[in-house]
Amino acid sequence: MKTVTISKTPADHYFVSILVETKDVASPKPLITREKAVGIDLGLKDFAILSTGEKIANPRFNYKEQPKLRHLNRRISRQFRMNKVHSNNRNKNCIKRARLFEKISNRRNDFHHKLSSKIVSENQTICIEDLAVANLMKNHKVAESFASVSLGEFVRQLEYKCLWYGKNLIRIGRFDPSSKISNCCGDYNNNLKLSDRFWVCSKCGQTLDRDINAANNIRDFALQRQNLITQVPLEERELTLQEIVPLLAREKLSASSVVE
Closest CA to 56 of 71, 72, 42: 42
**Separation of alpha carbons 204 and 196, rounded Å:** 18
How much is the average pLDDT of 195-208?
A: 81
| C-beta of residue 46 within 8 angstroms of C-beta of residue 52 | no
**Separation of alpha carbons 47 and 60, rounded Å:** 9
Residues 6+ apart with CB under 8 A from 3: 18, 19
Per-residue pLDDT band at 259 (split at 50, 70, 90): very low
Maximum C-alpha span of the chain? 71
Report the 10 Å Cβ neighbour count for 31: 8
Strand partners, 207: 200
251 found inside a domain: no
Per-residue pLDDT band at 238 (split at 50, 70, 90): low
Give the model confidence (pLDDT) of 119-171 as tens digits. 999 999 999 988 887 787 887 887 888 888 888 899 999 999 999 999 999 98
How much is the average pLDDT of 39-48?
A: 90
Closest CA to 104 of 66, 140, 133, 77: 66
At 20 the pLDDT is 93
252 found inside a domain: no
Which structural domain range is residue 211 located in?
A: 3-246
176: amino acid identity, one letter: D
**Separation of alpha carbons 54 and 10, rounded Å:** 38
218 found inside a domain: yes
| C-beta of residue 113 within 8 angstroms of C-beta of residue 160 | no
| C-beta of residue 216 within 8 angstroms of C-beta of residue 34 | no
Angle at 130 between CA 142 and CA 204, to 5 degrees: 90
At 255 the pLDDT is 41
255 found inside a domain: no
254 found inside a domain: no
At 19 the pLDDT is 94
24 tagged catalytic = no
**Separation of alpha carbons 99 and 13, rounded Å:** 9
Say which DSSP state 166 is in.
T
Q: Which of 41, 65, 144, 187 is catalytic?
A: 41
At 227 the pLDDT is 64
Closest CA to 107 of 96, 97, 99: 99
How much is the average pLDDT of 179-188?
A: 81
- Into how many domains does the chain fold? 1
Give the model confidence (pLDDT) of 17-29 as tens digits. 999 998 888 788 8
211 tagged catalytic = yes
41 tagged catalytic = yes
206 found inside a domain: yes
Q: Which of 35, 102, 211, 251 is catalytic?
A: 211
At 121 the pLDDT is 93
Q: Which of 12, 21, 129, 144 is catalytic?
A: 129
At 139 the pLDDT is 79
**Separation of alpha carbons 153 and 159, rounded Å:** 10
At 119 the pLDDT is 94
253 found inside a domain: no
pLDDT at 251 over 50: no
256 found inside a domain: no
15: amino acid identity, one letter: F
pLDDT at 250 over 50: no
SS3 152: helix
